[in-house]
A and B are shown apart, each in its own frame.
Chain A
Amino acid sequence: MSDIRLEVKDVSKSFGITRALKRVSFNINKGEIHALIGENGSGKSTLTNSLAGIYQKDDGLFILDGKEIHPHNQLEANNEGISIIVQELGTLDGLTVAENIFLGHEEEFVKCGIKNTKAMNRKANELLKKYGFERIKAGDMIENYNFEDRKLVEIVKATYFSPKIVVIDETTTALSREGREELYKQMKRIRSEGDTVIFISHDLPEVLSLSDSITVLRDGDYIDTIKSSDVDEDGLKKLMVGREVSGNYYRADYGEEISDEVVMSVKNVTVPGLISDVSFDLHKGEILGFGGLSESGMHEIGKACFGASFDREGSVTLADGTEIKDIPTAISHSIAYTSKDRDNESLVMNQSIRDNICLPSLDGLANKARLLSDKKLEDFANTYAKKMSTKMISVNQFVSELSGGNKQKVVLARWIGKDSDILLLDSPTRGIDVKVKQDIYQLMDSMRKAGKSIIMISEELMELIGMCDRIIIMKDGKISGELRRDKDMDENSLIAKMV
């Protein structure tokens, strides 16, 4: 009996003139965690979305256990034994937890057209208990739960029916450590039952520690499939990028003095239910990191400093005495903010790259009569999109057509174009490949050297350690510790203050 679970044969897919997949062929075995890696825009999600019925491939074959499959939507893919946990939110408001879990599979609870809600809730509660998510109740409306809990519901939804293949697309970045551990546990369970996990992640240590084999894609081309035990991190980077990538892509300097000049002073800031009595100063030319568990309140810091928090108490004051109480004041005083929730809070998805980049700079781009020139906007957007090496057909392409990493580049290009002096970056490298990460780290370092001040909020402890002059750790909405840049600092010293 063959060990091959899935044969990908000459699969091609184009979006307009962009060729996202070019005759990709490789095999995936039964009972393995098979990682799919590559730079942003390399075609990973396009391939798995085609497998899961979200996209329709243009050409080629998917052969599952020797039988060709053509799912036209996720339900058909589920029926073939394939499920997917997508990168962004995959549950629906207006439905209960149970209705979300069984959406498209209600038949087993329907008799004579009438749905047995009690039976559905009972089954969902049993599943939630089995997965250890008892705190989530089947009968509750899904919108009552936060992003991470909703991701946990997606894990149940995607795996409860023992599919032959579960695709996990860049999901771990949305989860806290606890959530990740749970996901890892489920991945290992699926493997031990002889089924297959296709795992997409930019976190190479995570990929190496979890997967059995790794397939690398680059610019829509298949590059190689290797055993995880036969490769190291630098080897993977080389395969992904196509050239040597130095392992040390963080800042190399240590012992630099932080300027005494305070550019932003945060005093006793409280956002009810999220952060409490937070005070700190941001200095000129400093990268100030914020770390902690996902629910520690650190993600609210960026919003609070940008004037985007509701019911904020306390003050955020700039060096010239201006108090930041709202977003227009923040932007007009050269403050930039990138949200962790890129698609919903940072980008206008159904607008072009040009419009997204130019949005906060329109006043400066208008002529004396306050009219905007198409050429000027296009040139401006082109300059900064190219500076960020955004993979695009043109700046007139819709942002919704870009991969996750390229979307992030558009967000950053917007604020670089605005020449902001204070940057509040929440999870700036979330879902970003190693090459772009390196570009972003270098950009942050050069901005720091140019006297710009940066607040970097991240769940990635290594990048905080590697990039920040100071790191503030948040716990239960409060500051629980502060560490200064140090060669000998390691993850454990941060974790000790986080939990």
Chain B
Amino acid sequence: MLEAIPGRVRSGFPSGIAEKRTVRATPRFREKGKCPHLSGLLALFWVAMLVTSPSQAAEVKTAVLRIDRVVGPPISRLDAPPADLGFAGAMLGNEDNRTTGAFTGMDYTVTTQAVAPEEAGAALDGLKAEGIGLIAVIAEGDILKELSEKAGPGVLLFNAGARDDGLRDADCLANVLHVSPSRSMLSDSIVQFLMWKKWPRILLIHGSHPEDRLLAESYRKSAAKFGAKIVEEREFVDTGGSRRTDTGHVMVQKQIPVFTQEAEPYDVIVAADEAGVFAPYLPYHSWDPRPIAGSAGLRPVSWHPAHEAWGATQFQRRFEKLTGRYMREEDYQAWLAMRVIGEAVTRSGKADPATVRAYALSKDFELAAFKGQKLTFRTWNGQLRQPVLLTEGRVTVSVSPQDGYLHQHSPLDTLGIDAPETACQAFGG
């Protein structure tokens, strides 16, 4: 169906040189070429457009910039990222916008580009030079921060990757809206569920990488926030051992029980392993028979391909028809970025970054995104409020916020940094 999109991916299997690609007409429309009714159908389509839209469509240019750090393969080959990670979600969002745009006289394009970290700045300059001012970025936090500085106030970035709370707090950036949930939203989602289950005693196992420590700190804060108790912490040090070898499972079966034995009494293991070094080895191997949550077992995610509630089935199907694969979190987040742009443009009638930002942060903005309630932005730090799915891999186990976690404004604000505690200044807060 869709041609593979060249670009370097975070898989350790670079699939080619960085290449830019702009999509206007979508692969799905091309697919319709097989349909015998095509000419009639298209004729109707254009007639409909003539009736309802101005003759000259205004162009809304968007982009997705993905910064790929070359890392080793994931523990499970099922998690290896596809070459069009994130881009495919943006293409679906762009197609959704284009369909709506046909009725409102707006034309949408999306340019996708994947580059190495050292090329990030040049890639951003290139997009700016093409007059693209609405850009979704899938990158780590430090790179996003650099891009934000380089982009300046004339460009609006959508963070569709980085989880860092700092970027939503003291280090928040006026020209960045976050469609990706933060670490604290994810850790709050898990801890709320554990408290609902009455599993308050946590054995926290974290990795040795900086992002693992940030995630562990997020779990500590969540535990304090909701009254859970971290009874003990252990660090799984990444010694650079083999992630996947022929005999790996033999070693794992011996090492993990030893690593987890003689812990203080606990109800559940929470794994903080953003670097992806050990967490998938924990289930079934812990010394005590206990459930695992966090980076393995029950995972908090912005999206999952098994999710079906709230009309998600048809959304999943549209994505799978377009791409031939399941939707990942980065795809959902890039789709969100495109749909935020689409809603702001449709409702405000303008496509400049300043108007899109102002509309997204206004109280008129709302977005239906297959999560059972409207998504809106936190005006104090530009974070998109959203329910978080909890999945064990095959089904949606639960969705946070959990019942009973009330809030004076929105139960969604029980997840992540709330207005009274924010240190963000860039949003006039």
A, B assembled together = no
- Residues of chain A touching chain B, judged by Cβ–Cβ distance below 8 Å, are none
